Amino acid sequence: MRVDAEDVKYFHVVAEAKTLVRASQELGVDYTTVSRRIGRLEKALGTRLFSRSGTGWKLTPTGEGLLPAARMVSLGVDVFADGDPIVSTPEEWTILAPDGFAAAVLAPRCGRLIAESGVILRIVTADSLASRDGVSFDAAVVRTKPTSTRVKVQELVAYEIGLYATQDYLHTHPTIGQIEDLQQHVLCWYPEDPLAAVPDFAALRPMLPNIIRLQSNNLLVHEEAALAGVGIAVMPTYIARRRPSLVRVLPEDVTYTGRYWTALPAAQLRWEITRKVLQFLRDAVVDAGLAPCPEEQPRRANQK
């Protein structure tokens, strides 16, 4: 059976909407029509594209792999339906990134990009590719190097992590002269739950207090807690230096070098946009005072 381009558009809309109801509202049809179209596409392909549940429709691995192509087909269907070959729509970029990187590096540096190019930029915060909840992306910035064959990986930048607190906090709490003194202090750190923790930072854990009094998977919670004098936060230096009131604690004893990696969908079909996204990321880290790793150009699917 041949694949219908309109069915592919329905697939793309459902993947973005995540529920039949929202997809049907966007498409202006009954939800049973959407379900029928998806079923027909799955039959034509001979595979499931979504796993269905009471809370919504989630892409299967096959569906994730086909989503970049579906996005292009959907755009083409809309252009042909309008009947105007010169219709031009803004480029849409989706970048996944950890919350701290997104807030401190990307958000302050996207203004010129949006103003001059007209790009629609989506910055989606996600701790890892596994936590992206089915969101399709042009590039992801992650702290742990992915091993999946469904993504192409490049090292983006190295960064340093340290302990930070305000002078007021340090003046009103027990003196810190060595690592053992941290036991007397409130530390802001990631959750002890191994599913929510950050594996790359495990090397620091033995240096920290036995009991972590404030735990959050959001780096900005650590930052705000330190600024409010709640305790000492474990933070990347590029984020901490934005706050003059924060000072480094035990800089020679407690330090760690982390790395950010860029992950690109292996089935990426928007290589020109990918090139622009990667250049934006590299420019952003340079402007933030971080030294990027040597550039690697993404290869097209037909290049060897």
Joined tokens for residue 77: 């269907």
- Convert the pLDDT of each residue in 132-160 to its tens digit: 655 678 899 998 888 877 788 999 999 99
Confidence at residue 132, expressed as pLDDT on a 0 to 100 scale: 64
| Listed ranges 63-67, 114-118, 198-202, 232-236; the one with the highest mean pLDDT | 232-236
**In this structure, are residues 176 and 248 in contact, taking their beta carbons and an 8 Å threshold?**
no
pTM of the model: 0.69
Q: Name the band, by pLDDT with cuts 50, 70 and 90, for residue 274.
A: confident
Q: Which residues contact 244 (CB under 8 A, 6 or more apart)?
A: none
Tell me which residue of 89, 249, 71, 273 sits closest to 164, measured CA to CA: 249
What is the secondary structure of 195-254 as a DSSP string? TTS-GGGGGGGGGS-SS-SEE-S-HHHHHHHHHTTS-EEEEEHHHHTT-TTEEEESTTTS
Residue 302 has a pLDDT of 37
Quick: pLDDT tens for 227-270.
999 999 999 999 999 999 999 999 999 988 889 999 988 766 56
Mean pLDDT of 207-216: 90
Contact (Cβ atoms closer than 8 angstroms) between residue 156 and residue 281:
yes
